[in-house]
Amino acid sequence: MNIALLGFGVVGSGVYEWCRDREDLNVTRVLVRSPKPAVADISTTDFNDIVTDPAIDIVAEVMGGLHPAYEYVTAAMKAGKHVVTANKALIAAYYTELTSLAREMGVGLLCTAAVGGGIPWLVNLARVRKLDAIERLGGIMNGTSNFIMDAMHAAPVSFPAILKEAQDLGYAEADPSADIDGDDIRRKLVISANIAFDAVLEEEDIPMFGIRTVTDSDIATFKAKGFTCKLLATAAAAEKGVCAYIEPTLVSADALEAAVPKNFNLITYEGVNMGRQSYYGQGAGQMPTAANVVQDCLTILGGERGFYTHNATPMALDGENEAHPYYVRTSAPDQWLEDNTAERWETGVVTGAVNTYEMLAWAKKQLTVDPALFIAGIA
Ligand SMILES: NC(=O)c1ccc[n+]([C@@H]2O[C@H](COP(=O)([O-])OP(=O)(O)OC[C@H]3O[C@@H](n4cnc5c(N)ncnc54)[C@H](OP(=O)(O)O)[C@@H]3O)[C@@H](O)[C@H]2O)c1
């Protein structure tokens, strides 16, 4: 099959490398906006050269952003071309439209690299759910935030200092908000929940709390109590829809999640009959991420069409039955917190079991009076 790459950055050049010596997948065109000497002979700055070329079978969108990525992938599918993308923002934002278009045109639309980078998470999630019902999924889905939490547990270091180190090492972007506040994880959770539960969820409605306000004193307290703090995502089947949320979570120091080092990911589903299965690996990086893009091209070469799931419908967020204790550190007194406090730790309080959605809504409000507030669910 002939592939056109949209973008020739970290992932795009990795896809080119993977395909270079293959006979079944040929990169024949590359859309660039600045010169790329390695592919000068097949480069174009005009997308029309790609969409009107009948010899191109697959358009691999590896340029990122919503626009013009959205316009390009829709035009490609309308022209009868399969689309593979690594762009979680694009799929999360235009899920219904893009998957419907793929079905209507009878083309493939796959995005395995968008969730978990190099981990074959989405394909295995799609595979298991053909046989078993998924009860719950989630885990460590962002390498940057895990790098920060891991380093803060390894040696006393402040959040700003380790964030700067992550930026210097190229693990965190100049604007780290999407990684440390949960937005990046939320997009990955939307796509995962979509495949696991046939659910179309509103990304903005999923409650989240990030790690921006965690301190080295918080971490010292957690360690003294036998806990490790990780930023975890959760999506669970619920009576009236799906219960999805993102929050720092205290897991036992001997839990699998606690052992995940550096910028690695650990993503898990729990099937009714299969039980727990976890996927561990590089959630980003050139060759691992590009490998998932190329695997998707091979899947299409093998005859697969459409998206991973075909029946997704809009679903409500239902957090009614999700409750657990929380660690809370706030300098602003609050009666609701006082009423729910069960224990006092060195640096904060621990509540009894509190409804998750209620706590995350309270935390959002409390941040307006105490911007240094930190909360963590206790698993
Ligand atoms: N990097 C990872 O480990 C990773 C992991 C998982 C998913 N992803 C996803 O993969 C996608 C690509 O990421 P990346 O890390 O490869 O980004 P990148 O290194 O910044 O590469 C993006 C490339 O696309 C080009 N580009 C952007 N807009 C363009 C346009 N309108 N026309 C033509 N070319 C355009 C850029 O051109 P210039 O060189 O001229 O700027 C750049 O070469 C993103 O959606 C990202 O979320 C990346």
**pLDDT digits 0-9 by tens, 311-327:** 899 999 999 999 999 99
Question: What pLDDT, on the 0 to 100 scale, is given for residue 129?
Answer: 95
Q: Identify the residues whose C-beta falls under 6 Å from ligand 1.
A: 7-12, 31-34, 62-64, 68, 86-87, 113-114, 117, 284-285, 289
Question: What pLDDT, on the 0 to 100 scale, is given for residue 338?
Answer: 98
Q: Which atom of ligand 1 is nearest to the CA of 90?
A: 45
- CA-CA distance, 40 to 44, in Å (whole number)? 8
Mutate to test the pocket of ligand 1, among 6, 8, 11 (most ligand atoms within 8 A of CB): 11
**Ligand 1 centroid to residue 13 C-alpha, Å:** 10
In the chain, beta strands by DSSP E: 2-6, 26-31, 43-44, 58-61, 82-85, 109-110, 134-140, 199-200, 227-238, 241-252, 264-271, 275-282, 313-314, 316-317, 323-324, 326-329, 341-344, 349-351, 354-355, 374-378
279: β partners: 267
Q: Which atom of ligand 1 is nearest to the CA of 61?
A: 11
Nearest CA to ligand 1 atom 6: 117
Q: Give tens-digit pLDDT for 54-109.
A: 999 999 999 999 999 999 999 999 999 999 999 999 999 999 999 999 999 999 99
Q: Give tens-digit pLDDT for 260-293.
A: 999 999 999 999 999 999 999 988 889 999 999 9
Nearest CA to ligand 1 atom 31: 68
- CA-CA distance, 71 to 68, in Å (whole number)? 5
Question: SS3 of 138, please?
Answer: strand
Angle between helices 69-78 and 88-105 (to 10 degrees): 10
User: Considering the chain, what is the average pLDDT of its residues?
Assistant: 97
Query: What single DSSP character describes residue 203?
Result: G
Task: Decide: 16 and 3 in contact? Cβ < 8 Å.
Answer: no
**Ligand 1 centroid to residue 6 C-alpha, Å:** 9
Mean pLDDT of 226-237: 98
Predicted confidence (pLDDT) at residue 174 exceeds the cutoff of 90: no
Question: What pLDDT, on the 0 to 100 scale, is given for residue 21?
Answer: 94
Name all domains of the chain by residue range, CATH numbers in brackets. Answer: 2-110 (3.40.50.720), 135-283+316-378 (3.30.360.10)
Mean pLDDT of 164-187: 92
Predicted confidence (pLDDT) at residue 170 exceeds the cutoff of 90: no
Residue count of the chain: 379
Catalytic residue list contains 188:
yes
Q: Which residues contact 274 (CB under 8 A, 6 or more apart)?
A: 128, 131, 132
| Element at 148 (helix H, strand E) | helix 143-154
Q: Work out the pLDDT band at 378, boundaries 50, 70, 90.
A: very high
Predicted confidence (pLDDT) at residue 180 exceeds the cutoff of 90: yes
**Ligand 1 centroid to residue 8 C-alpha, Å:** 7
pTM of the model: 0.95
Mutate to test the pocket of ligand 1, among 5, 6, 8, 10 (most ligand atoms within 8 A of CB): 10
Mutate to test the pocket of ligand 1, among 63, 88, 183, 184 (most ligand atoms within 8 A of CB): 63
